[in-house]
Amino acid sequence: MTDVLLLSNSRAPGLAFLEHALGAIAEILHGHRQLLFIPFASSQPDHYTELMRDCLAPIDVRVQGAHGDADIHRAIAEAETVFVGGGNTFRLLKRLRDLDALGELRERALGGMPYLGVSAGANLAGPTIRTTNDMPIVEPGSFEALGLIPFQVNPHYPQAQAADPPGSETRQQRIGEFTEENDVPVLGLPEGTWLRVSAGVARLGGSIDCRLFRQGAEPEVLRAGSDVSRLLDLPVRFDTSERAGEPAAGQTARTDPGR
């Protein structure tokens, strides 16, 4: 049974790094004191790892950086918990694939090891990374990700679409294009929010409402703190267009992202 915490962002206005979510982080750690941090989405993994060490020291958590381990396979196999950091999602996925570590990470997380992810790390928990906001700066070989949850997330979802300049493309429009081609729910997580999945229950965290996007439906407001466990059981089909006159491929989400 998966035990997952997916954070939209690391910094909230007026607060220190991850301070807004320290309570949720401490809860999912279940008393574990050692954490494997995967900083591969960042261009400065040493700095990012030190930042995580300083952040989690007050709750007595020791952080090991995966980038400094000569044997990533052993590090994942022995990890009590894993935290995947933010940055560029394409770089993160490519690095894990190049290291032949994606499948091992998935197996540990599906086996019950707590998985924490922020931004790019949250994107990685879905079936694919197709709803990331990042530029594809590298070619990861495939968009398939860990599949720890059956639906997509969109971190950093903007709260006020009305603030966009006239004529500009909005995030809602971009996600709408995804749902035109894929019958897959997308959960928009604004800054300061998170998703916790544990023991078959999915619940929103933070104090800000989230958004749910589905093919052929208007965006749905999900109130802060809501139980969204129904998303764990909704049907998921990739590459099936809703547009008239186009055939529906009906490809279901794969459960094995490979390595």
Question: Could you tell me where the beta strands, DSSP code E, fall in the chain?
Answer: 3-7, 34-38, 62-65, 82-84, 115-118, 152-155, 186-189, 194-198, 201-205, 210-213, 220-222, 237-240, 248-252
Residue pair 1/120 in contact (Cβ under 8 Å)? The answer is no
User: Phi first, then psi: what are they for 157, rounded to 5°?
Assistant: -65, 130
Local structure of residue 215 (DSSP, 8 states): T
For residue 250, what are the CA distances in angstroms to 69, 131, 144, 202?
41, 19, 17, 26
Residues 3, 8, 20, 134: which is the catalytic one? 134
- Helix (H) / strand (E) element for 46: namely helix 45-56
CA dist., res. 66 & res. 37, Å (int): 6
Name residues whose C-beta falls within 8 Å of residue 168's C-beta, 6 or more positions apart in sequence: none
10 is known as an active-site residue? no
Residues 32, 156, 164, 226: which is the catalytic one? 156
156 is known as an active-site residue? yes
164 is known as an active-site residue? no
Name residues whose C-beta falls within 8 Å of residue 105's C-beta, 6 or more positions apart in sequence: 38, 76, 82, 96, 146
CA dist., res. 117 & res. 191, Å (int): 14
The residues annotated with a catalytic role in the active site are 119, 134, 156
